[in-house]
Amino acid sequence: MIAGDRVATQMFLAEALKPKPTGKHTSTREMSATGVWSQRDTREASAQIGREETESFVNAAVVFIDKWKELRPIAPLAERQAK
């Protein structure tokens, strides 16, 4: 699958990760040792790591929002053409 291919991603998500009762052998329990579809082993998780990841995400969102507030919106096309 090509990274960023929306159609391939939607097909994968539609056809993969079915519940175990379907018998398709594509549930997360059947596809992973931990039963979780994740980038990391959930056994390595901790409250501290969760706190740090959450704070990092929130801080990045705040930076984005603050930057967004600094941007000046472009005037509507009709207004710009009238000048």
Q: Do residues 1 and 12 make contact, with C-beta atoms less than 8 angstroms apart?
A: yes
Could you tell me the pTM of the whole model?
0.45
| Residues 17-58: tens digit of each pLDDT | 677 777 777 777 777 777 777 777 778 889 999 999 999 999
Return the half-sphere exposure (C-beta side, CA atoms, 13 A cut-off) of residue 6: 0
